[in-house]
Chain A
Amino acid sequence: MMGKLSSSGLLALVVRRDLVLAMRRRADVLTTLVFFVMVVSLFPLGVGPEPEMLRKMAPGVVWVAALLASMLSLGRLFSADYLDGTLEQMLIAPQSLPVLVLGKILAHWMVSGLPLVLMAPVLGLQFGLPAQQLGVLALALLLGTPVLSMIGAVGAALTLGLRGGGVLVSLLVLPLCIPVLIFGAGAVEAVAGGMNYASHLQLLAAVLVAAAVSTPWVTAQALRISME
């Protein structure tokens, strides 16, 4: 029998486990990324190839696509563990559930959010964004996508095992993600307008900290409600 794990030990264990599981099913990870690239690439086809307009639209388009892509992957956050009974074991484990949930969110972000952050500058190039804006775009996504995973985790936990859960979770989570979208896209637009973009990133970081403190706990409560 194992003794009681420390919080950081538990966190590392959960992250490692979920990453290993994700690596065994690499196709799932890739579909989110391909979806992201595809949605962003559709916009020029829809609105026309004028470089000036595309440059103006790019931050918003990339952010909205990132939002949609992160919604798409939320279904996988708890459902596999729910279906094979692992989640039930996690709920009755003597370890702290919020820490465990935080580990799952972190792993989920590394698998579904981080690839978007890394891919975004390439997509920005497609839209003709200059180098500084590309950097700020990636930085804003780096701060913002974890928040999307965290808020999304609450929605995923609430809709666990429901029919039509995939669409429902978007309905619940998207309105709550609006501040992230505004600050994230706003930072890039501020660079384009020659304004100070640091305040946007600071607000984004503040949202990230607030979400990191509160959402694992709320998600844990939601899981208890869904599993009882």
Chain B
Amino acid sequence: MAINWFKYSAPSTFYALAGKLAPWFAGMAAILFAVGLYVGLYVAPTDAVQSDAYRIIYIHVPTSLLSMFIYVVMAGYAALGLIFNTRLSAMMASALAPTGALFAFIALWTGALWGRPTWGAYWVWDARLTSQLILFFLYLGFIALHASIDDPRRADRASALLAIVGVVNVPIIYFSVRWWNTLHQGSTITPKGVRMEATMQVALYAMFLACWAYAIAMALWRVRSIILERERATQWAQELPEVRS
């Protein structure tokens, strides 16, 4: 009955597992994206206050939620890697970073496009927008630090420490930005208190799960590439059919 989890902390076994799992998650993401977008864009009713402009919520909310969540997961893997000295954890952390950065960027981009019709401006120095921007900067810092260190072990450990420092700082940054925002400007118009239609909820949850599945699939594929790159000299990697051909 008992599953030996430690078995999959070895890159060689995890490589095969990730290869098996990734297509499933990718397929799930494709189906959920199709369902979510169809329900969100065609079936769900038009919003009374914001008309059709609100429909960007189906991209905006899932990506911004996941961009924050992925950073925490990334820092968790980074901490595991530092504490237990497992190579795979650090590889997972660096495999997650580009997807997180992408989501943060999409959230900012769609936020700007949403802000134009509802707030009347592409960019407002709203607390959430600003902290999302800072989160994006934190991702870029992590990726840049990892990329500029040649020795992979040092790169893993240094960027892991940075991710942990970042995750400790995120709440402080968020609250300071929120406070700064309330000091500088009055309340911005936020679409709150809008009750959601059942179809809207279905679409939102579908898109949320789709983004989740997409992130997992991408991380697994990326970690496979990282494993191959790092372990290319080992025997098990040499014997892989995709490496031989």
Q: A residues touching B (Cβ–Cβ < 8 Å)?
A: 154, 158-159, 162-164, 168, 171-172, 174-176, 178-179, 182-183, 186, 189-190, 207, 218, 221-222, 225-226, 228
Q: Are B173 and A179 in contact (CB under 8 A)?
A: yes
The minimal Cβ–Cβ distance linking B179 to chain A, given in whole angstroms, is 7
Q: Could you say which of B144, B158, B179 has the most chain A C-beta atoms within 10 Å of its C-beta?
A: B158
Q: Any chain A CB within 8 A of the CB of B145? A: yes
Q: Are A175 and B141 in contact (CB under 8 A)?
A: yes
- Please give, as numbers and ranges, the residues of chain B lying within 8 Å of A154 by CB-CB distance: 161, 165
Q: Are B145 and A159 in contact (CB under 8 A)?
A: yes
The minimal Cβ–Cβ distance linking B180 to chain A, given in whole angstroms, is 4
Q: Are B148 and A168 in contact (CB under 8 A)?
A: yes
- Please give, as numbers and ranges, the residues of chain A lying within 8 Å of B154 by CB-CB distance: 225-226, 228
Q: Are A168 and B165 in contact (CB under 8 A)?
A: no
Q: Are B148 and A178 in contact (CB under 8 A)?
A: no
Q: Which of B114-149 contact A (CB under 8 A)?
A: 134, 137-138, 140-141, 144-145, 148-149
Q: Are A225 and B158 in contact (CB under 8 A)?
A: yes
Interface size class of chain B, counting residues whose CB lies under 8 Å from the partner chain = 20 to 34
Number of A-B contacts defined by CB within 8 Å: 65
- Given the known interface contacts A158-B158, A226-B154, the answer about A176 and B177 at a Cβ–Cβ threshold of 8 Å is no
- What 1/0 flags go to B148-162 for Cβ under 8 Å of A? 110000100110011
For the complex of A and B, list the 4 residue pairs with the smallest distance between their C-beta atoms, beginning with the closest: A179-B176, A175-B137, A225-B157, A182-B180
Q: B residues touching A (Cβ–Cβ < 8 Å)?
A: 134, 137-138, 140-141, 144-145, 148-149, 154, 157-158, 161-162, 165-166, 169, 172-173, 176-177, 179-180, 183
Residue of A nearest to B183 (CB): A186
Q: Could you say which of A162, A190, A207 has the most chain B C-beta atoms within 10 Å of its C-beta?
A: A162
Residue of A nearest to B160 (CB): A225
B176 is contacted by which of A164, A172, A183, A228 (Cβ under 8 Å)? A183
A to B CB contacts below 8 Å, 16 in the list: A162-B148, A163-B148, A168-B144, A171-B141, A175-B134, A175-B173, A176-B165, A178-B173, A182-B176, A182-B177, A186-B179, A218-B165, A221-B161, A225-B157, A226-B154, A226-B158
Q: How far is B157's CA from A176's CA once the two chains are assembled, in angstroms? A: 19
Residue of B nearest to A172 (CB): B141
- Please give, as numbers and ranges, the residues of chain A lying within 8 Å of B134 by CB-CB distance: 175, 178
A222 is contacted by which of B148, B161, B180 (Cβ under 8 Å)? B161
Q: Could you say which of A175, A186, A218 has the most chain B C-beta atoms within 10 Å of its C-beta?
A: A175
Q: Are B173 and A189 in contact (CB under 8 A)?
A: no
